Structure 1
Amino acid sequence: MSIAARTPHTGGTRTAGCLRLLTFPFRTAHRLFRPNRYDRIRDPAITAAQVARTAVGGVATVWLIRSYPLQESAADVAKDQVLELLLSAGVLIVAGPVAVACFVLSARPPARAVYVRRLSGPAGAFAALLGSAAALWFLLLGGAAQVTETAGGVPFVGVLASMAGVVFGVPFIAAAVVLSVHYSFRVGDVCEVLPPLLSPVLVWSLFVFQALDGSPVAAPQAVEALFATGPPLSVSLLSAWELQRLRTRHRLTIRRALGRSSALAS
């Protein structure tokens, strides 16, 4: 047997280990914020339509920015996008619990008990995002000193803890915000009709914000109006189609989900 055959190949293992370490915050966020109820309805057509709508919106936005002069710097445009994402998460933090509470309270027994048992997914997503944001804020505001004091005054313990918290927390929170908006804080784990009911509330709330903020490009009014109303209208139409498909393909309606018809899809 040759030396090369006897020598273990560790380069690929090290690379895979580094990649797993770098992607750990994103994989953790994906596990926490993606709906994963085992018996949830998974319709490939609905998923494909959502992906297509997102792709078309992204391409249209790039075209708009490249076709017309910016009215503000590229950095300001990027800040507006981040602010819009944070605003989306903020709207869902308020509207999500209200919508879920109204839905669960409106359900009749035994449907109500089914939905109460399913609240752990959305509640865990809320707790993970708010808790991680609070922990990162604590570390950035001098939490290392308190960690050092707790560790018996050993300085490097607080520094290492703060570094580890920031290195993990920043990408985790970034991924968590994106995924929480995309999956509406896992309300689909409670019932499949909730995401298409909640999505229009989110996009029309953002429409008001964008109308007050103004367009970032110097485009004709007709183009600005199209790009301002296109996202909320397309999401609303997609949500209506999704509810229609849940009714026709999976026999799940809002009334049936609330236990107000002869059958309940649990």
Structure 2
Amino acid sequence: MSFGGPYNPYPPPPGPQNGGPYPPPPPYVPPQPPPPYGYPPHPSPYGHPPHAPYVPPQPQPPTTLMGSLRSLRDAEWPPLHVLLRAGRARIHGCVWALALFPCTAMMTWPLMAGYVFARSARSQAHRLFPPRGHRRIEDPDVVRVARLRAWTAAVMSVLLLVMYGKPEDFSEAQQQYMMRIAVTPPLLLLSAPVVIAFLFRMASPQTKAQMRPRLRAAGRSALFYVGAVTAVPLLFVAITLAEDNMSTNPNGGFPWVQLALTLPIFWVLFFLVFATGPAVRTGFNSAGVHAALPALLTGVLVWEFALISLAAGGLPPGPPVVQILAVLAGPASVTAVVRWELHRLRTRYGVVLRA
């Protein structure tokens, strides 16, 4: 009787085969140390080596212009010496020599200095106002509906201007858009404390104790932004006074004073450019005070913007029914989305106003 034929899955029993001697014992294999994390490698039934450890995919450099701009917007800007060292291998030496000529150095050196100022202001602005920190609870369904509502409102506004608008209505719409951009930061600074006071009054003592340190952090960042906005006209006034002093005293060293006052202006302007967008989205970091604060603040601001637009530009073009619908449809739709968001926060995440 024989075992272990080519189609027999059972191994032969221990002992002599067909009356022969016993087979030699298998060679001794010393025990191996356990692999990392205590999981032995899974042996392959086909004789292949065990699977290699999983390596997460590394982010690839962007290959399109929009991808490069998005990466430059989100990632940290490298220092100037790192940027120049990285471009040394990709830029021809003649270009570097051309950049150092006296006739072109008047352009390259200010660009390098501007990059240093912009990088410093951007780092400080994103440290105070994180670009991705505008909501404590990010609901994808709410974000999708709010984005759809915004695009629908934009399309309806364009259609209203195309159907009933006059040439001067287009310029007035552009002026109202620029006015809204300019009015948003001060209006937010005035509205956020009112909404926060409402939430703070309705909160329980335990919730108030949790809100206080976040309120202090939001107040410090708001004061820093207000100080930056106030510093710009003050620096211009200081330059004007220095010019007047220079006209009366020619040896007053005005060029150095002008340079010492002009450089901070550029830094503050760069800071305001990079900080205004995140500050408006985060409500000057007040969004971290309470999970329902962004929704409530959005509902308050949209009605304030509607009243300001009505007072500044009057009714939109079209028949009376279309005018009334154009004025009320936008704030009413935003209010409906806000109520739905508050409902989802209460039912799905346990966020209530009176707690």
TM-score (norm 1): 0.73
Aligned length: 245
* Cross-structure match for 2:50: none
CA distance in 2, matches of 1:222, 1:38: 37
For the structure 1 residues 254 and 138, does the alpha-carbon distance in structure 2 shift closer, same or farther, using more than 3 Å as the test?
A: same
Could you say which residue in structure 2 is the equivalent of 1:169?
Answer: 268
Residue 230 of structure 2, aligned match among 119, 131, 134? 134
Q: 1:27-65, CA deviations, whole angstroms, 9 ceiling, x for partnerless residues? A: 654543347679932322233333333333334334444
1:194, distance to aligned residue in structure 2 (A) = 1.3
Query: Where does 1:1-266 land on structure 2 (aligned, <5 Å)?
Result: 8-9=88-89, 11=91, 22=118, 25=121, 28-34=124-130, 40-67=136-163, 68-71=165-168, 74=171, 76-143=172-239, 145=241, 154-174=253-273, 176-215=275-314, 218-255=317-354, 258=355
Does the 8 Å CA contact 1:33/1:185 hold for their aligned counterparts? yes
Q: Structure 1: which 5+ runs fail to align?
A: 1-6, 259-266
Contact 1:72/1:216, CA 8 A, preserved across alignment: no
Counterpart residue identity of residue 9, structure 1: A
CA distance in 1, matches of 2:152, 2:199: 32
Shift of 1:108: 2.2
Contact 2:135 2:287 in 1 (8 A): no
Q: Could you list the per-position Cα deviations for residues 90-124 of structure 1 after superposition, in whole angstroms to 9, with x for gaps in the alignment?
A: 33222211221332244222211110011134213
Structure 2: how far apart are the matches of 1:86 and 1:207?
Answer: 15
Percent sequence identity is: 24
Unaligned 5+ residue runs, structure 2?
1-86, 97-111, 246-251
In 2, Cα distance between the equivalents of 1:38 and 1:88? 16
Contact residue 215 and residue 224 of structure 1 kept, 8 A: no
Question: Bigger radius of gyration, 1 or 2?
Answer: 2
The alpha-carbon deviation at position 216 of structure 1 amounts to: 7.5
Q: Which has more helix, going by share of residues?
A: 1
Check 1:139–1:250 CA distance in 2 against 1; reply closer, same or farther (3 A cut).
Answer: same
Change over 3 Å in CA distance of 1:31–1:44 after alignment to 2: farther
**Alpha-carbon distance, 1:144 to partner:** 6.7
Conservation of the 8 A alpha-carbon contact between 2:134 and 2:283: no
* Aligned Cα root-mean-square deviation (Å): 3.8
> What amino acid does structure 1 have at the position aligned with 2:235?
L
| Alpha carbons of structure 1 residues 71 and 8: separation in structure 2 relative to 1, 3 Å | closer
Counterpart code for 1:71: E
Taking a change above 3 Å as real, the CA distance of residues 65 and 37 of structure 1, as seen in their structure-2 partners, is: closer
What is the identity, as a one-letter code, of the residue corresponding to 1:102?
Answer: F
Residues 177-231 of structure 1 deviation map (CA, whole Å, 9 limit, x = unaligned)? 4444333333221011112122222111222222223348633333332321122
The normalised TM-score by structure 2 is: 0.57
The one-letter code of the counterpart of 2:300 is: V
State how far apart, in whole Å, the 2-side matches of 1:28 and 1:62 are. Answer: 38
Letter in 2 for 1:221: P
- CA distance in structure 1 between the partners assigned to 2:168 and 2:134 by the alignment: 48
